[in-house]
Copies of this chain bind each other. A is one copy, B any other.
Amino acid sequence: MSPTPGRRRAPSKGDRRERAILDTARTLLAHKPLADITIDELAAGAEISRSSFYFYFDSKLSVVVTLLRALTGELNADAGPWLDGTEPDEPGLRRAVATLAAIWRTHGRLLTGVLAAAPTCAPIGQWRAGLREAHIARLAARIERGRAAGLAPAGPDPHVLAGMIDDLQTATFAAATDPDGLVDDLVTVQLRMLYGQLPPRHSSGSSARGTSGDHAMASSTRRPNPNSSPE
């Protein structure tokens, strides 16, 4: 094999195997959640035995984290001019959201699969939290600038509002079948959250407080396993 000048080195057998594992993981994640994927499958996909898998990765998680590292750049890149601007520049926002939507279109299954695992497993949760915090910080700063410039109405604490927007975007795309179709709506809603003025109040406000407290737990006669069919 001529070591093509310019390339450091021909990819070794191990390199190919590692990629094969990663590719298999990507493929499988498109079909089922992380929790349902076994190391056997990952290994089989790369045509090695289960124990050989451990030569390449510590665990399923390490595989996913590696996959995620590759996505982080893309995910951050979308932010661009919108987050660093100040004006309520709709086209800029639309561009940002559209880019995000494109990522979700391509990597949607991976992202939802991984996000599903986030609450349960620390490293993934941290990855998500990192992205979220980064987004919130920039967006909150943007909100502050906008308000200071009199471009946006007062409202919730910028960090809280930014968090809501981030959550909204993630939840919306995660639930979507067609991310691109949601871009316009997401833009509209986001602009309203940031800049929406409420029409004058009709007043007539009373701040009552009502805490409903009724429980009702039926206790039927028990047969072995009265509680039925989960999964």
Contacts and interface: CB of A to CB of B under 8 A. Distances in A.
A225 B58 contact: yes
Copies in the complex: 2
A56 B225 contact: yes
A10 interface: no
A175 B122 CA distance: 15
A87 B199 CA distance: 12
A219 interface: yes
Contacts of A227: 56-58, 62-63, 65-66
Contacts of A138: none
Contact of A198 (B62, B155, B171, B195): B195
B195 A189 contact: no
A6 interface: no
Given A119-B112, A182-B160, A193 B195 contact: no
B211 A99 contact: yes
B99 A210 contact: yes
Contacts of A209: 95, 98
Interface string A47-59: 0000000111111
A172 B164 contact: yes
A42 to B, nearest CB: 13
B122 A231 contact: yes
B164 A123 contact: no
A119 B73 CA distance: 26
Contacts of A122: 230-231
Residue of A77, A171, A224, A230 most packed against chain B (CB within 10 A): A230
Given A171-B168, A197-B196, A61 B231 contact: yes
Interface string A183-210: 0110011011101111101100111111
B167 A175 contact: yes
A155 B188 contact: yes
A121 interface: yes
A139 to B, nearest CB: 14
Interface string A78-92: 101000000110110
7 contacts: A56-B227, A58-B225, A95-B207, A112-B119, A155-B188, A156-B185, A164-B168
